[in-house]
Amino acid sequence: MTQAKPIYVLNGPNLNLLGSREPEIYGRLTLAEIEQACAARAAQFGRLIVFRQSNIEGELVDWLQEAGERACAVVLNAGGYTHTSVALHDAVKAIGVPVIETHLSNPVAREDFRHVSLIGKAAKGVVAGFGATSYLLAIEAAHLIARESAGEGQGA
């Protein structure tokens, strides 16, 4: 039996500062701790993750395109690019795998400029506002959607 395709978990600008950057908004967990939790959650479904972070928009586009060929789904926290990047929006639309937008905070409960998500307009769904648990819920959604689209049936 072949290994199931991985779930790509891609993180945008400033997420490398988690744990110290505005912990009252983003929590105290580091990105490395979130990666460990995501890997453990994916393992419960027999899946691996590819976990990456970049402050560079073009690198995120490249990884989305790579995921279109290699992943079953993508969990994307585009950070500030969520509200500004037509390039990421277009990449999400162009790849053939479902993308779950995720955020630690709830962007619509914050500043007005965060209320519009260019990523969300192209994504399969959005999980936001649950802190690091948002990532775990997005991993589960990515797995279930990938199973469904592969004809593997419902449930975990």
Catalytic residue set: 26, 103
3-state SS, residue 121: coil
Q: What is the DSSP string of 44-81?
A: HTT--EEEEE-S-HHHHHHHHHHHHHH-SEEEEE-GGG
67-83 CB burial, b ≥16 within 10 A, e <16? bbeebbbbbbbbbebbb
Cα gap 33→19, rounded to integer Å: 9
